[in-house]
A = this chain, B = another copy of it.
Amino acid sequence: MTEKPCIICVAITGSLPTKANNPAVPITIEEQIESTQEAFEAGATIAHCHVRNDDQTPTSDPEKFGRLLEGLRKHCPGMIVQLSTGGRSGAGRERGGMLPLKPDMASLSVGSNNFPTRVYENSPDLVDWLASEMLKYGVKPEIEAFDLSHIVQATRMQGDGRLKGPLYVQFVMGVKNAMPPDEPIFDFYIETLKRLAPDAQWCAAGIGPAQLLINEWSIAKGGHTRT
């Protein structure tokens, strides 16, 4: 289907699940490094990382991200490390406090949408600040597209220099009250991205029960995929 290799992106932890949900969820930095190394040895190329407090709640603490980054560079040489700037781990500019650590990549939301019980707020000011920090520290953003306008917005930000191309966009489906898994919409996401940013690459993540379905679509349609 495609000549380019399929990149497997592994999200070891996420921001929400705890040991109570699944005792295998790696929470401490040491557990995360160990778990990522297993995925790396199994073929994963990108590690999408969140960090946690001792009580397992999500945080954006740059010190914790720093220890994780250091451990991954040592134990998974050549692996692309992507740190989350997502809104479940902090508020406002806290979310980008780890960007001066210069990870290879960081996630970036460029619009707002609903989540299961609240608004996922990414104000225009915050988006622009996070994007400018990524430019400043040479961090490649993974655009998190929870809706169609987020894809369009990313291409506009590339057009006016707020983002550097080629874009790397992740389609996210399956979050309640945001976009559900829907194949014609998935295809239109790909088509729209190709039309507005022909050199862009894309991957996709299915949340919860949508995970395997989205993996299948991604691989079949020539994208990268998130496990």
Cα A115 to Cα B112 in complex, Å, equals: 9
Cα A156 to Cα B121 in complex, Å, equals: 23
* Chain B nearest CB, measured from A149 CB (Å): 4
Q: Point out the residues of chain B lying under 8 angstroms from A147, CB to CB.
A: 111, 113, 147-149
Q: Point out the residues of chain B lying under 8 angstroms from A180, CB to CB.
A: 152, 156
Asked if A149 contacts B152 (CB within 8 A), the reply is no
Asked if B149 contacts A178 (CB within 8 A), the reply is yes
The yes or no answer to A116 lying at the interface (CB within 8 A) is yes
Asked if B148 contacts A185 (CB within 8 A), the reply is yes
- Say yes or no: A177-B119 contact (C-beta < 8 A), given A112-B113, A149-B147, A149-B148: no
* Chain B nearest CB, measured from A7 CB (Å): 26
- Say yes or no: A111-B114 contact (C-beta < 8 A), given A147-B147, A184-B192: yes
Q: Point out the residues of chain B lying under 8 angstroms from A152, CB to CB.
A: 179-180, 182, 185
18 pairs across A/B with beta carbons < 8 Å? A111-B114, A111-B147, A112-B119, A112-B120, A112-B121, A113-B149, A114-B123, A114-B124, A114-B127, A117-B124, A121-B121, A147-B149, A148-B179, A148-B185, A149-B178, A149-B179, A152-B182, A152-B185
For residues 155 through 203 of chain A, which have their beta carbon under 8 Å from a beta carbon of chain B? 156, 177-180, 182, 184-185, 188, 191-192, 195
The yes or no answer to A118 lying at the interface (CB within 8 A) is yes
Asked if B177 contacts A185 (CB within 8 A), the reply is no
Q: Point out the residues of chain B lying under 8 angstroms from A53, CB to CB.
A: none
Q: Point out the residues of chain B lying under 8 angstroms from A184, CB to CB.
A: 191-192, 195
Q: Which of A114, A122, A178 has the most CB of B within 10 A?
A: A114
For residues 101 through 143 of chain A, which have their beta carbon under 8 Å from a beta carbon of chain B? 111-125, 127
